[in-house]
Each structure stands twice: as structure tokens, then as C-alpha cells.
Amino acid sequence: MIKIGLDGALIGGVTGISSGVPATGTAEDARYNHLPARRRREPTGDSAVTSLIIFDCDGVLVDSEPISIRCTAAALTVAGYPIDPAGVLERFLGISTAAMVATVEQETGRSMPPGFVGNLRHTILTAFERELRPMDGIADLLDRLDRPACVASSSVPERIRLSLRVAGLLERLEPDIFSATMVRRGKPAPDLFLLAAERMGVPPSSCIVIEDSAAGVRAGRAAGMTVFGFVGGSHLSPAVARPGLLAEGAHRVFDRMADLNEYLHAAAT
């Protein structure tokens, strides 16, 4: 069982669930209580286990997928691989641009035009600067989170940080940001989630992954972690996406960030 040392004053109003852990006011507590709630490391020992929330970025922290899907469909079509946004959503959601290009090149038997990846990245980042918004309720959720959190994304570090900065979330998550560029195999392989857990000092079995894509859910399960599927992004229809993520092995699927704290506490009991 994961025992939560949460701040009841912060959390109770949202979930109505009490931690049952009394505030003790010891010297040990004083070491932690000056930190924002999510960055506190609970004292470890027989009576307390630290857990970690690993957030995917696109489609979970930021509502970026409609923008990147639109830009990607246009770029692939111009490059001679006709595809519409629905096709990009179905085939390439949650995987890196490099993996997408490899798939397209294998299918067509020819290389993408020189500069394709760099040009697409530039187009998407420019659109993000103009249009990107945080996922509804995520800033409040992060401020109330009672345990450590980090980001593990298929995007390159530059794009992750720009996304989080534009969405107003960067300072809540720095420096705990992990990119698929840091591992040999991206999602759906478990490598990135395992790296994040190792760097954060938490065993995989004590991690909860929040993911919106099939590839991400598969990666989290392959890493031996609990996986919550999130289908509240504006690129997804919850009714359509929910069965797909459950079929990939998600332990729970939800569509409102405001509900996540309640589900985290339920998972801990």
C-alpha cells in the first residue's frame, strides 16, 4: 500500500478524502514543509512509500495534439505522403517524429525530403507560440499534487520546454523533464519511463504514468507501472478513445484533470 503524507488542507477540499496521516510537526517535517507540495519527498521507511507521477506532455499537460497533428498532416502531404489529420492521429499519436519518418520511409521506399524533420519542428513550434494552451485544470492539479512528479515525453527537449513555458507550466516541473532523445528506444518501449523512475529515485512499481496515447500506455505497462489513460484532450473523443486505452492495459481512464487527485488516492488504498 502506498501511504500518502498529504496536506489535508490542500487536498481535502477537492477530493473529500482524508489521508489519515496526522501532521506531526517534527524536525523531519520541517525539512519538507517549505517545499511546494509536489516536490516533497516523504521520509522513507517501513511506514511510508514514496510514489511518483510521470506525466506525458503532449495531450496530457498541454493541449498540443490538434496543433501538431494539423501541421504534421500538412507537411507529410506536401512531402508526397497524402494523409489527413485523422490519419496522423490514428497512426502516429504518441511516437517521436523520428519514428514516424522511419515508418513512412519504410512504407514508401524513399527518403523524406532534406530538412523535413527540422522544417516540421519549426512549423509546430511557431504554431505553439501562437496557439498552445495548458490542459484544462492541470495547473491547479500540479499545485495541489502531494507527491513528486516529472515529465516523460516523446518530444525533443526544446519542444517540451517551449510547450511547458508557453502553457505556464515550466516552473512547476523543471528540472524533472525527460525526453525520448535520452534513451535508445522511445515509446512504446519502456526505456523512457524506466529512466525517469531511476533518475527520480523511485521503483517502477511505485510510479503512476498519465498517458493519452496507445504507445504511451503500452510503454508504461511494459515498465511495470500503474497507467492512467487521459482522454480529455481536445484531439480525442473520450467515448472513442477510452476503450482503446483500456485495451492497451490502462488501469483507469479519465477525462477531467480535476478528478486525478481523487483517483491517485483511490489507487493508494
Report the interface residues with Mg ion, using CB under 5 A: 56, 58-59, 94, 212-213
Measured CA to CA in angstroms, residue 237 lies from 26, 102, 211, 233 at distances of 48, 28, 15, 8
Query: How is the chain classified by DSSP, letter by letter?
Result: -PPP---HHHHHHHH-----------HHHHHHHTS-GGGPPPPPBTTB---EEEE-SBTTTB--HHHHHHHHHHHHHHTT----HHHHHHHHTTS-HHHHHHHHHHHHSSPPPTTHHHHHHHHHHHHHHHH--BPTTHHHHHHH--S-EEEEESS-HHHHHHHHHHTT-HHHHTT-EEEGGGSSS-TTSSHHHHHHHHHHT--GGGEEEEESSHHHHHHHHHTT-EEEEE--STT--HHHHHHHHHHTT-SEEES-GGGHHHHHHHHT-
- Identity of the residue, 5 or 220, whose beta carbon is nearer to Mg ion in the bound complex: 220
Query: Closest separation between CB of residue 213 and Mg ion, Å?
Result: 5
Residues 29, 210: Cα–Cα separation, whole Å: 28
Query: Closest separation between CB of residue 72 and Mg ion, Å?
Result: 13
- Identity of the residue, 58 or 248, whose beta carbon is nearer to Mg ion in the bound complex: 58
Query: Closest separation between CB of residue 216 and Mg ion, Å?
Result: 6
Helix axes 65-78, 85-92, angle to 10 degrees: 110
Query: Closest separation between CB of residue 155 and Mg ion, Å?
Result: 9
Query: Closest separation between CB of residue 29 and Mg ion, Å?
Result: 36
Query: Closest separation between CB of residue 32 and Mg ion, Å?
Result: 31
Query: Closest separation between CB of residue 153 and Mg ion, Å?
Result: 7
- Identity of the residue, 11 or 71, whose beta carbon is nearer to Mg ion in the bound complex: 71
Tell me the residue nearest to Mg ion as measured from the CB: 59
- Identity of the residue, 6 or 209, whose beta carbon is nearer to Mg ion in the bound complex: 209
- Identity of the residue, 176 or 212, whose beta carbon is nearer to Mg ion in the bound complex: 212
- Identity of the residue, 146 or 212, whose beta carbon is nearer to Mg ion in the bound complex: 212
- Identity of the residue, 59 or 232, whose beta carbon is nearer to Mg ion in the bound complex: 59
